Amino acid sequence: MDAGVMPFTIGMPRTPARPLARAVLCCYNNHMKPLNAADHVFTIGEYIEILNTFFKAQAARIRGEISELHRDAKGHVYFAIKDKDDGSVLSCIIWNRNYDLCGVVLEVGMELILSGHPNIYAPNGRLSFIADTVELVGEGALKKAYEALKRKLEAEGVFAPERKRPLPEYPTQIGVVTSMKGAVIHDFLNNLGKFGFRVRATDSRVEGQQAVVPLLNALALMRREAQAGRLDVLVLIRGGGSLESLQAFNNEKLVREIVHFPVPVVAGIGHDKDVPLSALAADIMVSTPTATAHLLSKPWEEAYAKVREAAYLFSRVESRFERIRADLDAAWSSVIDHTAQGIAHAKEIFANAERLIALHDPRRQLRLGYAIVRHGGEGGEAGKLVRSMRDVAAGDVLNTELADGVVKSRVEE
């Protein structure tokens, strides 16, 4: 039984010995006050309405075994449960929509826990318990229902790997469905990397069969967010638990909602023994909310590591370039220095050569009064130096080169 929910005791002490009329609180003359038969005479319909107003507020969970069962043409289920200890019997009804949501096929002999409230049907005055949810009792029964639904969904290919969708390469918009009251959401957010994620979270009950409707409502809300382009991935997380506490995640309607969700779904529900069917149907299944956060952060961490590595390599290349440039600058300076020295040395050599040439220039001798005599005229002897008297004969034409010109003459003797 949930904490804070006791059968037929909300808002008043238990008074089994008192008449029912003295125990009922109703809104009469716009004021809450005990009924008193001396103050007013009620019609049957008024009194039943008063009782039902009170009963509707008396949420309870009751346990019993199905002794009778009937489903009408509209799909509503009428059944009776009995107490195994004292044989007490209570008529029960679960409306068609709630029965379908529960995902439990009722059979005579099943032991159940029902969540709902009592109600008196005015036309015949019959008291019935209106069940909102139905839970199987005992791990054996839960396991049997789990295996049956698992086989059905497997045959449809719901869990097939080829149906699963990959996560976006770098998700940024994350939808989260979980209970906002526990440590799960804090563990998830604390382990989510600081990569600019935008998280949209919705609160939902995640414990027991009564979580089915809240979970379906939360997925419907997140579906609108996804269709509006505000989600890249949906995360469904809760802490681990027993097979009983995870009943909602083995609900067929919830499984199908996950399969047809507009964006990939990650389930971080976790159960070592029997993996919840919702986790098997999700596109990615991890063990814990912390693992879910790490999964979403991993591609960003790897990308960040690559960026850091690239930056490191770039800095090394930049340093190498700086060293090369410094080496080139030094080499260029050395080339310039050596070139300048070479040019200076060459100038010195040229200057020395010029002095030697000037020193040995024949024209220098001519300026001192010497002359150069060559054969003039035509023929093979033209231009030949005259070094001896034997080099000339009478009648030869000679060219005598002086410092300031040439004198042409003919040998007479």
CA dihedral 244, 245, 248, 252 (to 10 degrees): -40
C-alpha to C-alpha distances, 411 to 383, 393, 396, nearest whole angstrom: 16, 7, 5
Among 38-47, 155-164, 246-255, the minimum mean pLDDT is found in 38-47
The arithmetic mean of pLDDT across residues 308-313, rounded, is: 80
pLDDT of residue 27: 43
pTM over 0.85, yes/no: no
233 beta partners: 174
Among 107-121, 306-320, 342-356, 389-403, the minimum mean pLDDT is found in 306-320
Average pLDDT, the chain: 82
pLDDT of residue 12: 30
Residue percentage of the chain with pLDDT more than 70 = 88
Please check the confidence at residue 279 and state whether its pLDDT lies above 70. Answer: yes
pLDDT in tens, 333-350: 888 888 888 888 888 888
The arithmetic mean of pLDDT across residues 287-298, rounded, is: 90
Q: Residue 24: what are its φ and ψ, rounded to 5°?
A: -90, 135
pLDDT of residue 25: 43
Per-residue pLDDT band for 272 (boundaries 50, 70, 90) equals low
Q: What is the CATH number of domain 154-356?
A: 3.40.50.261
- Spell out the domain ranges in the chain: 20-137, 154-356, 364-410
pLDDT in tens, 172-194: 999 999 998 878 898 899 998 88
Which overall architecture, per CATH, does domain 20-137 show?
Answer: Beta Barrel (2.40)
How many angstroms separate the CA atoms of 83 and 301, rounded? 58
pLDDT in tens, 30-81: 444 555 555 678 889 888 998 999 988 888 999 998 888 999 999 899 999 9
